[in-house]
Structure 1
Amino acid sequence: MSITAVPIRPVKRGFLIWLWIGIAVAVVLASLLAWKGTAAVVADRGTNAEFLAYNARQPGVIETPSGLQYRVLEAGEGETPTDDDLTLVNYEGRFRNGETFDKSEQPTPMSPKGVVPGFGEGLKLMPKGAKYRFWLKPELAYGAEAQRDPRTGQDVIPADSLLVFDVEMVDFVPEAVVRQMQQQQMMMQGAPGADGETAPPSQQ
């Protein structure tokens, strides 16, 4: 008994070309996804330098000459503060792993020259109403010195920590005006030392 082979209909050449193009695109996309996933893992688990190098390439992230990285979450309007101003901000500070180490309960007064360098630089970029995210390498934060809770002696911020801050600029006014208002209030209350200097905001 003979079996007659059923011939396969020839495939059009144009179809084959598109098939190979589709396969090539799929391979490229898969490679890109694998590379992106690997890069994210390396950045997450790697050194501060590796994390910052990866983060600098993310959409919307801007890096200043000092190495401060920031992203505009909400743009404000108008002028930005200087070292001579006192800012009023809401903020949350986190480590790279997302753990919060500090958070304001209400708008907090801060002088750009009275906080760590990276935070002060970031404040001077923000107009009123703006919300920014800062990434501070250790050299722009507390460096190799751990920050301890004076009450417990426990490290609140370990040495060489990369810090992430979300900051909202509520308002800012000249620091000299604030000092003058404080002195006038003290004089009205008859408090001792009314003619003396008031203490600057504590460093964060």
Structure 2
Amino acid sequence: MTEVTSVPIQPIAKGSLVKLWLGVLVAVLIGAGIAWYSAPKGLSVSTITEGTGGTPAADDVVFVRYKGMLADGSTFDESQDLPLPIPGIFPEGNPLPLNQMVPGFSEGAQQMQKGGKYVLEIPAEKGYGAEEKANPQTGEVVIPANSDLTFEVEMIDFMSEEDFQNKIAQIQQMMAAQQGAQPGAPGAGGAPAPQGQ
């Protein structure tokens, strides 16, 4: 007959089980913290003032007022009021074609409604990534490589690219008609210009 040798199990010291579970919990929390910190940050759109109606599409032109800032709060870009609006043609704000913007701005703008004010936070990989952006006049770097960007945006209005191009053509026709109607302009029907002797 085979004999089984028994090994006595030592009792767990008082409080050791609690310490074991606390150690496991701390290890899980540290692992989750490292995973969260190293994970790429996503795009964030925070509403300051609610807008109304629909949202722009990826190929629309938006009319906005904006201020672009770096993580340290310094401003790298700010919209300037253009000699618009032209009543019945263009609304106020800067026209920005979304298909020509950095991916994060385009994606964020597509979540904004007309008349709303928003804070748009763009991680570097959806902005300019590893590329630096310099002022073309001074050569000074205004957006360092791998910079997260924050924009304060007021969405004034938006329209399709086709409507935008049609309205540009309309303005060009109006300007051509105004130039043709000036006295002394060729084909204006005014008195002929005096000829030298």
TM-score range, shorter chain: 0.5 to 0.7
Contact 2:66/2:154, CA 8 A, preserved across alignment: yes
Structure 1 residue 183: Cα displacement: 1.6
Aligned-residue offset at 1:149:
1.0
Aligned length in residues: 131
Residue 83 of structure 1 aligns with an amino acid whose one-letter code is A
- Residue type of the partner of 1:69? S
Aligned to 1:72: 47
- Given the alignment of the two structures, is residue 86 of structure 1 paired with residue 61 of structure 2, yes or no? yes
| Alpha-carbon distance in 2 for matches of 1:73, 1:52 | 27
CA distance in 1 between partners of 2:126 and 2:155 (Å): 20
Aligned partners of 2:38 and 2:44: how far apart in 1? 11
Aligned to 1:8: none
Q: For residue 137 of structure 2, give the secondary structure of its aligned residue in structure 1.
A: coil
Percent identical residues: 40
Task: Kindly provide the amino acid, as one letter, of the partner of residue 147 in structure 1.
Answer: K
**Deviations, residues 86-118 of structure 1 (Å, cap 9, x unaligned):** 110011111111111111122211111111000
SS of 1:139's equivalent in the other structure is: helix
Residue of structure 2 in register with 1:105 after alignment: 80
- Residue segments in structure 1 that go unaligned for 5+ positions in a row: 1-48, 57-66, 192-204
Change in CA separation of 1:68 and 1:163 when aligned onto 2, cut-off 3 Å: same
Is 1:147 matched up with 2:133? yes
CA distance in 1, matches of 2:172, 2:159: 20
Q: Is the 8 A contact 1:83 1:112 kept in 2?
A: yes
Specify the SS of the correspondent of 1:101. strand
**Is 1:185 matched up with 2:171?**
yes
User: Aligned letter for 1:128?
Assistant: K
Question: Residue 81 of structure 1: CA displacement?
Answer: 0.5
Q: Say if 2:58 and 2:107, in contact at 8 Å, map to a contact too.
A: no
Preserved CA contact (<8 Å) 1:74 1:132: yes
Supply the distance in 2 between the matched residues of 1:82 and 1:92 (Cα, whole angstroms): 22
Q: Deviations over 1:141-172 (max 9, x none)?
A: 00000001111111010000011111010011
- Which one has the largest radius of gyration? 2
> Which of the numbers 124, 142, 145 marks the counterpart of 1:159?
145
User: Structure 2, unaligned stretches of length 5 or more?
Assistant: 1-35, 82-92, 178-197
Once residues 185 and 104 of structure 1 are traced to their aligned partners in structure 2, the CA distance between those partners, rounded to angstroms, is 22
- Whole-angstrom distance in 2 between the partners of 1:95 and 1:70: 16
Instruction: Detail structure 1 runs of 4+ shifted over 3 Å in the superposition.
Output: 49-53, 187-191
**Structure 1 CA distance for aligned equivalents of residues 53 and 136 of structure 2:** 39
- Out of 99, 103, 107, the residue aligned to residue 121 of structure 1 is 107
| Secondary structure, counterpart of 2:66 in structure 1 | strand
Higher helix share: 1
Distance 1:76 1:188 in 2: 33
* TM-score normalised per structure 2: 0.61
Q: Structure 1 length as normaliser, TM-score?
A: 0.59
